């Protein structure tokens, strides 16, 4: 079966936005979660994973239908290594290999970059 969907994640100092997009970038569904309540790195990473899994399940999709997840992040990142150098407005993120962590938890290809 051909992969038909993309997961988009926008992580900011205030909100975590997650959406399912079609291959023509049409928004199929989206969710917004406040990041204000997550003050620990691990809690925020878990919230990202939960939000992605939740939107997939709520739309009755299988992971085999998903091409991958792209993350727009609020700080300097290294696309090749998947490492976040730091987030200026979210404490606890320093030299975190977010790509590797999320690929293991979500079992999806992860792509990340600075959102600027």
List the catalytic residues.
115
**Residue 69 near residue 7, CB atoms below 8 Å:** yes
Q: Return the residue matching tokens 């987030």.
A: 87
Q: What residues pair up with 114 in beta bridges, in sequence order?
A: 73
Q: Token pair of 47, please?
A: 């919230």
Alpha-carbon distance 13 to 9, whole Å?
Answer: 13
């Amino acid at each position: 079966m051909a992969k038909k969907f993309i997961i988009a994640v926008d992580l900011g100092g205030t909100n975590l936005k997650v959406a399912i997009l079609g291959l023509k970038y049409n928004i199929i569904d989206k969710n917004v979660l406040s990041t204000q309540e997550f003050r620990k790195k691990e809690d925020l990473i878990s919230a990202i994973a939960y939000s992605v899994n939740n939107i997939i399940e709520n739309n009755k999709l299988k992971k085999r239908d998903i091409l991958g997840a792209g993350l727009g992040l609020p700080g300097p990142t290294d696309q090749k290594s998947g490492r976040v150098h730091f987030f200026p407005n979210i404490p606890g993120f320093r030299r975190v290999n977010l790509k590797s962590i999320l690929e293991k938890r979500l079992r999806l290809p992860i792509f990340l970059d600075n959102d600027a």
